[in-house]
Amino acid sequence: MRPYKVLIFIACVMACLGALCVVLPGRIVLGERTLNWPTLAEVFGESEYSEYSEYSEDSDSIAEFPVAPDSLLADTTPSVPTPVIPHITADSTTDSRIFLQPFYASLTESSERVVRVLHYGDSQIEEDRMTQQIREALQAHYGGAGVGLMPLVQTIPSLTVKQQLRMNGRFITPAQGPQRYFVYGFKRNQRADGLYGPLGQMAVMNDSLVKGSEDVTAICKPQSGNPRYSQWKIFADTAIHYSLSGDTVQLKGHGNVYGLSQESPTGVIVDNIPMRGCLGLIFTKMDSTQLTTFCRQENVRLIIMQFGGNAIPSNKNPGTISGIVKGLREQVQHLRECAPEASILFIGPSDMLTQTDGVWQTYPMVPYMDRLLRKMAYEENIAYFSLYSWMGGRGSMMRWQETGLAGSDGVHFTRSGARKAGKAVAEWILEGMSATTSLNDELME
């Protein structure tokens, strides 16, 4: 076959495909399915290549949160249906760390007693990756030791404490351990009585549920942490008897175990409480008496809620997002009732990417949810840290991926990314003490 004929063939294919670009309007809905085809503008790259260039690389500064202009919120590629996003105006530019004042004040007591911080969150905080940074920063300034709370059966390994389980003297994997129940996840793993303890998950030592589970030994070796913890706390039914030996705790009997804790008698204790796949709408399902008692007895003075990310991938409707934020507001109010002395800090979702027409871009609902959460936080008088803005806003996750700070899924941080984010949150909290003191003085004057 002569080359010119091959050329004609190539030209014909390109002409046909080009004609489709003109004829088809980008997306054709065929019943439940959509047929996608790019427009000529997209083919020639007029929308894809400069989308993220306007955002500066320098995103380390968190002194103020730049709120993305409204025009950006509606700026999606032409082929993506633009969601109808209501206009929201944050009603205050006040540094939200002013709402952490009670927590800052409580830190002065840390030399005499424990000041506890509960860090609840979704998979972004698994492995203690972010919480570790907050813990280390607070303990360095205000004393304290130990990783704090951990479940009896640690299914998700932690960077800071390595757990091994023995049941009836034999090493077991977590899956072979005592029956566990969660306030999040599948309904079949949930309890009607809401008794999950502060971790939102608990284990039942009961021979009839899992053979041999009336005798469990947990060896929990700290992987880092200086100074070393000096005491254990076991949160369990009184029917459970335990004995301690170094990093090992042996529990015997039938009953519920809500958690183990390695800590110090004074200083700051920061608990890492990851809830995989969770939206954060679970606190009202937990037994409020149990939670209230825990917060009072353990002097919980700060509750960090880091949720929102799980609402993004499956929700394209602003109304649904708005409903979820409304639900989160109720959770905040509920936690405030359970822990009236605790300040609350909400950490919003990070930038998150999805692929649309082969191009990675921010989920349209991320900036919207971030703004709704910020508004909710101001209205509820709680502090708000916008992970999304701090990262650099729309598309910043791509830069995180390129530098090895985020995984290729465009959603989760890598360990180094989580470390960077955790460190930023820790610094932001600590810097807030001086920043808000002067602000408070000004307000008082």
Partner 1 sequence: MMEFLHHILGFDAESPLLFTQFYFWAFFALVYALFALLMSIKPSAVSNQRLHLRNVYLLFVSWFFYYKTSGLFLLILAFVTLSDWLIAAQAYKSKKKFWLCLSVIIDLGLLAYFKYAYFFTDMINDLFGTGFRVFDIFAYIGNGFSEAGRFSVDTIVLPVGISFYIFQVISYTADVFRGRIQPVKNILDFGFYVSFFPQLVAGPIVRAEEFIPQLYKPFRLSRRLFGIAVFWIINGLAKKIIMSDYLAVNLIDRVFDNPLLFSGFENLFALFAYSLQVYADFSGYTDIAIGVAMLMGFYLPMNFNSPYKSQSPQEFWRRWHMSLGRWLKTYLYIPLGGNRSIGFGTYFWWTLIALVSAALTGWWWMMIPFCVFIIGVAVWNKIQIRRQPSAISNQRKLLCSNLNSFITQVLGGLWHGASWNFIIWGGINGIGMIVEKIWRKMNWHIRFTVMTLLTGGLCVADYLTNLPVWRLFAVWAAIIWVVTAVRYIYFLCEGEDTKFTKALGTAWAVLQTFTFITFTRLFFRSSSNLDPATANEVAWETAKNMVNQIGGAWTNAVIVPFLVEYRWVVAMFVAGMVIHWLPTNWKRRYRLAFSAMPLWLMVLVVCVAIVVIYQFVSAEMQPFIYFQF
Closer residue to partner 1 in complex, CB, 177/267:
177
Q: How far is the CB of 408 from partner 1 (least distance, A)?
A: 4
CA gyration radius for the chain?
25
Residue closer to partner 1 (CB basis): 353 or 425: 353
Least separation in angstroms between residue 328's CB and partner 1 is 19
- Closest approach of Cβ 107 to partner 1, in Å? 33
The answer to whether 309 and 124 have CB atoms below 8 angstroms apart is: yes
What's the closest the beta carbon of residue 273 comes to partner 1, in angstroms? 13
Provide the terminal-to-terminal Cα distance of the chain, rounded to the nearest Å.
89
Helix (H, G, I), strand (E, B) or coil at 188: helix
List 237's β-bridge partners, or say none: none
Whole-number minimum distance, CB 216 to partner 1, in Å? 14
Q: 227: cis peptide before it, omega within 30°?
A: yes
Give the dihedral of Cα atoms 347, 106, 428, 383; nearest 10 deg. 40
Nearer to partner 1, 265 or 277 (CB): 277
Residue (111 or 223) nearer to partner 1, CB: 223
Long-range contacts of 58-67 (CB under 8 A, 24+ apart): 59/390, 59/391, 59/392, 59/396, 60/424, 62/385, 62/390, 62/424, 62/427, 62/428, 64/95, 65/374, 65/386, 65/389, 65/390, 66/389, 66/393, 67/371, 67/374, 67/389
Tokens of 311: 């609402």
Q: How many residues does the chain have?
A: 445
235, containing H or E segment: strand 231-236
Q: Which residue has the tokens 């809830």?
A: 275
Q: How far is the CB of 149 from partner 1 (least distance, A)?
A: 17
Nearer to partner 1, 314 or 438 (CB): 314
CB of 45 to partner 1, least distance (A): 6
The least distance separating partner 1 from the CB of residue 1, rounded to whole angstroms, comes to 4
Q: How far is CA 266 from CA 49, 247, 263, 269, in A?
A: 54, 19, 9, 8
Cβ proximity to partner 1: between 49 and 84 the closer is: 49
Rounded to whole angstroms, the maximal C-alpha distance in the chain is 90
CA distance 433 to 439: 10
User: Apex CA 163: angle with CA 157 and CA 166, to 5°?
Assistant: 130
- Residues in contact with partner 1 by the rule CB under 8 A: 1-4, 6-7, 9-14, 16-17, 20, 35-38, 43-46, 49, 79, 123, 126-127, 155-157, 170-176, 182, 184-186, 189, 201, 276-277, 310, 313-314, 354-358, 401-404, 407-409, 411-412, 414, 416
The residue among 3 and 31 lying less far from partner 1, judged by its C-beta, is 3
Closer residue to partner 1 (CB): 157 or 227: 157
Based on CB atoms, which residue is closest to partner 1, 162 or 254?
162
Q: Which is nearer to partner 1, 149 or 268 (CB)?
A: 149
User: What DSSP string describes 316-361?
Assistant: --HHHHHHHHHHHHHHHHHHHHH-TT-EEEEE-----EEEETTEEE
* CB closer to partner 1 out of 299 and 354: 354
Shortest distance (Å) from residue 274 CB to partner 1 = 10
- Cβ 414 to partner 1 shortest distance, Å: 8
Query: For the CA atoms of 296, 302, 304, 305, what is the dihedral angle to 10 degrees?
Result: 50
How many other CB atoms are there within 10 angstroms of residue 212's CB atom? 17
d(CA 335, CA 124): 21
CA distance 197 to 182: 10
CB of 82 to partner 1, least distance (A): 16
